[in-house]
Structure 1
């Protein structure tokens, strides 16, 4: 096995771009449609995290939660809050597993839990 790429169900291309690209800062690697007017399938990346976003109803259901181990979480949080995204203002919390965490909910019912281990 080489790596894991979570698939997340999305329902609205414009909302997906607004949330994942404009707010969270992912980059679109590629997009695919079988033909015009068919569901979108795309790959996005930020750092070493790659996600597949899919409008195909048979790929997965909404409501997934992805755990993202990271560093620099406080700085990332400050960056996100500074963008003043009106649909999400996440907080930072200290988790019981000795980590700083931030959870964001996408417009489709999926969650991303960012976690940075604390060294105290």
Structure 2
């Protein structure tokens, strides 16, 4: 994409459903040390702290972010598949790596939060 082409707004992803197959691995960072994305919305790059990273079994990566899409201070949670032209890295985390946010129970059913 050249610098003269408009940046398309990123397409949100739908959440995982059981009929998608195996659940994605979900990772999170400490609240005070989250990475952030830039999300192109309403003609501007919007700062979007990452709540979680999802690694789907098909190899795709999705990020769940908090973002003010219109610049009116209304925060919305969105899930975006990475990469897309309307997403960019704002900054990383100082944490060596995120921690697994969920683990599967012994039967492999609904994930539960680790303690």
Same fold by TM-score, threshold 0.5 exceeded?
A: no
TM range (shorter): under 0.3
Higher helix share: 1
Give the structure, 1 or 2, with the largest relative contact order (CA under 8 Å, sep 6 or more): 2
TM-score by length of 2: 0.25
TM-score by length of 1: 0.24
Higher strand share: 2
